[in-house]
C-alpha cells in the first residue's frame, strides 16, 4: 500500500483545527500544533509533507514560522498554505515570503481540498524531476570518471608501443625490413593517438558550443575518393567485402564543410569495420534529394553485416561515454565518443542521423544533411562530341549510371554485355573505319574474365587505337595485374562525372605513349624557404621533405626569430615560409601579421606564407587567412600534398 502523506495543521483555535482535520483526514495523516513554536518543533521531529498555517497565533506567528522554514534548507521545500481572515496586502506579502497558496477562512472545504491537492501534485512532480536529474548527474559523473581512467590507460598503450619500438630500434637498425615494420607500427600508434585526442578536442568544443563550419565549394568526388581508397584497403585487410553505391548525382559540387562531412562518414565506416567480423560485408553510398532551387539533401548511408546493437542499447549509443555492453561489441576497443560527436556535428549542420539494427545481423546508419549546391568549375561544360566509347557492362544499374554521365558529357557510346559481343563490336567498328576511342571494361564481367578480355583486345588492336579504362576498387596487386593485361587507366570507384571529365582531358591532351599516369616530379633547385617550427621532430620531417625536392631551408624555432630572419635576409630572399602556429615566444599568427606589416611599410612583394598546423577546425583556418597567410596544410601532412602546395606557391 502507498504511504500516506503527513499534513501539519498549525492553528491556535481548536474549532479551526477540527474543521481542517475533518476535511483532510481521509487522505492525509494529520498532526497538529497550537502555535508557531510547537509547529517548528514538530517540523524538526517528523517527516511533514504539507503545512496549513494560521497567521495570527501567540508565541511565534505564521509569518515567523514561514520565515524560519524558508531559511532552513531541510524545511525549505515543504509546501505551505497560509490561512487567515485578513486583507489582500498580507496575501501578497505571504506569497512573496514563499507561501505556496493563501486562503481566507472560513473556506469551502471542497475548494480547500482541491487547492491542497494541486499543490501536493506539483511538488511531487518537481521532486521526482529533481530526483531524476540528480540521478542522471550522478550517472554521468560516474561514467566520466570511468572514462578518464579508461582513457588514461588507452593513451598509455600507443605511447608504450612507440617507446618500445624506439628502444628496439638500436637492435634492428641494420635490418631494413624490420625498420620498415617498426615505422609502420609507429605510424599506426601515432594515428590512433591522434584520433583519440581529436575526439577529446571535439567533445570540449561541442560542450562549449564552439564548433564553426566552413562554407566552401567542394566536389563530392574528392570526399568519396578519400573514403573509398581508405576503406577499400582496410576492408580488404580484414577480409570484409566493401561496396559503394552512388545514385545519379545531379549536383556534384556542394557548399559546406568538406572536412566535417568526411569526419561523419569516416566515423560511421570505422564503426562498421570495427564491429564486423571477417567474411562480412559493408555497403556505403549516397544520394541526393532536391530541396529547392538552391539546396539538396545529401543522404549518406553505411550498412554492415556485423554484430548489430541490442535493442535496449539503441538509445544509449548516442550518449557520450556510453557503449552497447551486450554481445559482440564488447570485445572491441572504443569509448562511446564517435556516435555522440557525429550526431552533434550532423545536428549543428541542420541535419539528422538515425540507426536501425538487429543484434547478430548488422546495422544501418543514415545521415541527412541539407547543403547548398555550387556552380561546377567552368570547364565542366566542355563537350566531347568527337569521342566514341564502348561500355562493357556487368550490371544494369552501373551501366545506366555510366550512360547518364557520358550523355551529359556528349560522348557517343555503345554497350556490350559479354567478352564475345565486345570483340565483335570492336572488330566491326574497326573494319568500318569508325573505331572506338575508349573502352570501359569492368574487371568482373558476368561469366568472363576482364583480364582475358583486355588481353584479347590488345592482341587484335595496337595500343594506339584504343584506350582501355577499368573502373574498380583496386588493390595495388590488382592494379598491376590490370596494367599488365593492357589497361591504360584505372578509375577508382565510384566514378563521378568529374572523374570521367578529367580523364577525357588527359586522354585528349597527351600523346598516347604518355598516357599512363605518372607520379609528378618536383624540383625547386635554387629556391630558399624558411621553416618556422618549435618541435624538433616535426621540423626534421618537414625539412626532410623540402630538401628532398632541392629546396634550401633555414630553420627557426619561433615566430619572433622568423620575423628577424625575414628582415635580415630581405624580402626577396625567401620564396616561401612554412609557418607552425602554436609556438613559444611568438605564435604563427602574430609572426605572419608582423611580416605583412613589414612588407606594407617597405612596399616589398608579398612572400607566400603557408601555415603548417595541427589545428584543423574552421575557426583556426579562418584565423590563418585573417593573419595574412596564403594557404594551410594540416599536420600530419603527406608529402604529395606538401609538394602540391609548394608547386602552387613557390613557383614564380
363 near ligand ADP, rule: CB under 6 A: yes
Indicate the residue among 275 and 373 with the shorter CB distance to ligand ADP. 275
335 near ligand ADP, rule: CB under 6 A: yes
Of 156-164, 317-325, 519-527, 603-611, the segment contacting ligand ADP by CB under 6 A is 317-325
To 10 degrees, what angle do helices 14-24 and 109-172 make?
A: 60
273 near ligand ADP, rule: CB under 6 A: no
345 near ligand ADP, rule: CB under 6 A: no
Site mask for ligand ADP (CB under 6 A), range 3-32, x = bound: ------------------------------
d(CA 218, CA 374): 8
317 near ligand ADP, rule: CB under 6 A: yes
206 near ligand ADP, rule: CB under 6 A: no
Least distance from ligand ADP to the Cβ atom of residue 369, Å:
18
Least distance from ligand ADP to the Cβ atom of residue 271, Å:
4
481, 455 Cβ separation under 8 angstroms = no
Of 268-276, 472-480, 525-533, 633-641, the segment contacting ligand ADP by CB under 6 A is 268-276
Find cell 635554387 and name the residue.
526
d(CA 346, CA 504): 36
234 near ligand ADP, rule: CB under 6 A: no
Indicate the residue among 172 and 203 with the shorter CB distance to ligand ADP. 203
323 near ligand ADP, rule: CB under 6 A: yes
d(CA 78, CA 76): 6
What is the full DSSP assignment across 503-559?
A: HHHHHHHS-GGG-S--------TT-EEEEE-S-HHHHHHHHHHHHHTT-EEEEESSH
272 near ligand ADP, rule: CB under 6 A: yes
339 near ligand ADP, rule: CB under 6 A: yes
d(CA 31, CA 132): 30
d(CA 235, CA 376): 32
What would the grid cell of residue 111 be?
A: 475548494
263 near ligand ADP, rule: CB under 6 A: no
Exposure string of 234-266, with b = 16+ CB inside 10 Å and e = fewer, is ebeeeebebbbbbeebebbbbbbbbbbbbbbbb
d(CA 453, CA 468): 11
Phi/psi of residue 416, nearest 5 degrees: -125, 160
Give the sign of the dihedral formed by CA 172, CA 178, CA 182, CA 183.
positive
d(CA 35, CA 6): 18
Bridge pairing between strands 6-10 and 80-84: unpaired
Least distance from ligand ADP to the Cβ atom of residue 403, Å:
34
Least distance from ligand ADP to the Cβ atom of residue 329, Å:
4
Least distance from ligand ADP to the Cβ atom of residue 298, Å:
20
435 near ligand ADP, rule: CB under 6 A: no
Report the residue from 334, 370, 374, 376 that binds ligand ADP according to the rule CB under 6 A.
Answer: 334
Indicate the residue among 355 and 565 with the shorter CB distance to ligand ADP. 355
321 near ligand ADP, rule: CB under 6 A: no
36 near ligand ADP, rule: CB under 6 A: no
Distances (CA, A) of 622 to 42, 257, 356, 586: 66, 13, 38, 19
266 near ligand ADP, rule: CB under 6 A: no
Q: End-to-end distance of the chain based on CA atoms, in angstroms? A: 89
271 near ligand ADP, rule: CB under 6 A: yes
Of 240-248, 304-312, 487-495, 524-532, the segment contacting ligand ADP by CB under 6 A is 304-312
Report the residue from 39, 264, 329, 577 that binds ligand ADP according to the rule CB under 6 A.
Answer: 329
In DSSP terms, 245 is beta-bridged to 285
Length of the chain: 652
576 near ligand ADP, rule: CB under 6 A: no
581, 593 Cβ separation under 8 angstroms = no
CB atoms within 10 A of CB 312: 11
Instruction: Count residues near ligand ADP (CB under 6 A).
Output: 20
Report the residue from 158, 219, 306, 628 that binds ligand ADP according to the rule CB under 6 A.
Answer: 306
Of 213-221, 321-329, 448-456, 629-637, the segment contacting ligand ADP by CB under 6 A is 321-329
What would the grid cell of residue 10 be?
A: 498549525
280 near ligand ADP, rule: CB under 6 A: no
To 10 degrees, what angle do helices 88-97 and 62-71 make?
A: 20
Report the residue from 244, 275, 496, 555 that binds ligand ADP according to the rule CB under 6 A.
Answer: 275
Indicate the residue among 338 and 471 with the shorter CB distance to ligand ADP. 338
Indicate the residue among 220 and 307 with the shorter CB distance to ligand ADP. 307
Indicate the residue among 61 and 199 with the shorter CB distance to ligand ADP. 199
What would the grid cell of residue 180 be?
A: 620498415
Report the residue from 8, 235, 254, 307 that binds ligand ADP according to the rule CB under 6 A.
Answer: 307
Indicate the residue among 312 and 460 with the shorter CB distance to ligand ADP. 312
Q: Which residues bind ligand ADP (CB under 6 A)?
A: 271-272, 275, 304, 306-309, 317, 323-324, 329, 334-340, 363
Amino acid at each position: 500500500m502507498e504511504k500516506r502523506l503527513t499534513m501539519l495543521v498549525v492553528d491556535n483555535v481548536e474549532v479551526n483545527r477540527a474543521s481542517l482535520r475533518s476535511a483532510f483526514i481521509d487522505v492525509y495523516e494529520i498532526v497538529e500544533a497550537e502555535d508557531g513554536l510547537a509547529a517548528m518543533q514538530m517540523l524538526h521531529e517528523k517527516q511533514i509533507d504539507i503545512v496549513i498555517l494560521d497567521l495570527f497565533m501567540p508565541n511565534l506567528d505564521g509569518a515567523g514560522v514561514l520565515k524560519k522554514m524558508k531559511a532552513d534548507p531541510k524545511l525549505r521545500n515543504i509546501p505551505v498554505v497560509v490561512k487567515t481572515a485578513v486583507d489582500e496586502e498580507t496575501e501578497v506579502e505571504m506569497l512573496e515570503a514563499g507561501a505556496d497558496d493563501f486562503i481566507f477562512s472560513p473556506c469551502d472545504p471542497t475548494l480547500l481540498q482541491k487547492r491542497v491537492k494541486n499543490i501536493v501534485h506539483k511538488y511531487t512532480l518537481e521532486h521526482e524531476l529533481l530526483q531524476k536529474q540528480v540521478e542522471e548527474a550522478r550517472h554521468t559523473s560516474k561514467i566520466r570518471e570511468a572514462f578518464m581512467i579508461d582513457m588514461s590507460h588507452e593513451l598509455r598503450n600507443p605511447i608504450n608501443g612507440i617507446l618500445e619500438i624506439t628502444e628496439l630500434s638500436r637492435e634492428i637498425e641494420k635490418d631494413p625490413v624490420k625498420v620498415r615494420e617498426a615505422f609502420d607500427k609507429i605510424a599506426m600508434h601515432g594515428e590512433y593517438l591522434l584520433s583519440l585526442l581529436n575526439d577529446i578536442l571535439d567533445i570540449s568544443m561541442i560542450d562549449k558550443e564552439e564548433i564553426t563550419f566552413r562554407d566552401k565549394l567542394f566536389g563530392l568526388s574528392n570526399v568519396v575518393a578519400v573514403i573509398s581508397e581508405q576503406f577499400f584497403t582496410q576492408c580488404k585487410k580484414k577480409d570484409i567485402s566493401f561496396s559503394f553505391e552512388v545514385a545519379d548525382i545531379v549536383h556534384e559540387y556542394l557548399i559546406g564543410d568538406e572536412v566535417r562531412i568526411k569526419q561523419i562518414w569516416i566515423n560511421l565506416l570505422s564503426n562498421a569495420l570495427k564491429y564486423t567480423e571477417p567474411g562480412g560485408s559493408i555497403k556505403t553510398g549516397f544520394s541526393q534529394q532536391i530541396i529547392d532551387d538552391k539546396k539538396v539533401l545529401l543522404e549518406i548511408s553505411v550498412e554492415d553485416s556485423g554484430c548489430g546493437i541490442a535493442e535496449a542499447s539503441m538509445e544509449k549509443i548516442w550518449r557520450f561515454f556510453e557503449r552497447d555492453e551486450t554481445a559482440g561489441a564488447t570485445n572491441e576497443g572504443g569509448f562511446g565518443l564517435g556516435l555522440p560527436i557525429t550526431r552533434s556535428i550532423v545536428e549543428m549542420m541542420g541535419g539528422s542521423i538515425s540507426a536501425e539494427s538487429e543484434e547478430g545481423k548488422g546495422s544501418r546508419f543514415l545521415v541527412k544533411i541539407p547543403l547548398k549546391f555550387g556552380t561546377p568549375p567552368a570547364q565542366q561544360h566542355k563537350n566531347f562530341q568527337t569521342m566514341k566509347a564502348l561500355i562493357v557492362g556487368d550490371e544494369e544499374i552501373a551501366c545506366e549510371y555510366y550512360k547518364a554521365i557520358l550523355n551529359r558529357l556528349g560522348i557517343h557510346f555503345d554497350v556490350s554485355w559479354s567478352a564475345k559481343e565486345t570483340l565483335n563490336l570492336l572488330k566491326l567498328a574497326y573494319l568500318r573505319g569508325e573505331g572506338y576511342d575508349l573502352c570501359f571494361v569492368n574487371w568482373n564481367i558476368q561469366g568472363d574474365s576482364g583480364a582475358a578480355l583486355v588481353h584479347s583486345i590488345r592482341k587484335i588492336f595496337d595500343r594506339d587505337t584504343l584506350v582501355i579504362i577499368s573502373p574498380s576498387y583496386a588493390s595495388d596487386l590488382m592494379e598491376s595485374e590490370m596494367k599488365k593485361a593492357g589497361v591504360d587507366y584505372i578509375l577508382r570507384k565510384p566514378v563521378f562525372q568529374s572523374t570521367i571529365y578529367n580523364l577525357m582531358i588527359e586522354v585528349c591532351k597527351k600523346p598516347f605513349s604518355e598516357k599512363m599516369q605518372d607520379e609528378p616530379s618536383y624540383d625547386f633547385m635554387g629556391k630558399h624557404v624558411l621553416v618556422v617550427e618549435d618541435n624538433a621532430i616535426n621540423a626534421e620531417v618537414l625539412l626532410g621533405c623540402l630538401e628532398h625536392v632541392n629546396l634550401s631551408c633555414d630553420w627557426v624555432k619561433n615566430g619572433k626569430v622568423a620575423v628577424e630572419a625575414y628582415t635580415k635576409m630581405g624580402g626577396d630572399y625567401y620564396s616561401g615560409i612554412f609557418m607552425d602556429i602554436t609556438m613559444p615566444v611568438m605564435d604563427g599568427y602574430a609572426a605572419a601579421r608582423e611580416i605583412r606589416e613589414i612588407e606594407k611599410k617597405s612596399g616589398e612583394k608579398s612572400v607566400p606564407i603557408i601555415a603548417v598546423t595541427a589545428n584543423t577546425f574552421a575557426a583556426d583556418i579562418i584565423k590563418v587567412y585573417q593573419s595574412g597567410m596564403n594557404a594551410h596544410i594540416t599536420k600530419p601532412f603527406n608529402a604529395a600534398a606538401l609538394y602540391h602546395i609548394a608547386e602552387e606557391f613557390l613557383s614564380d
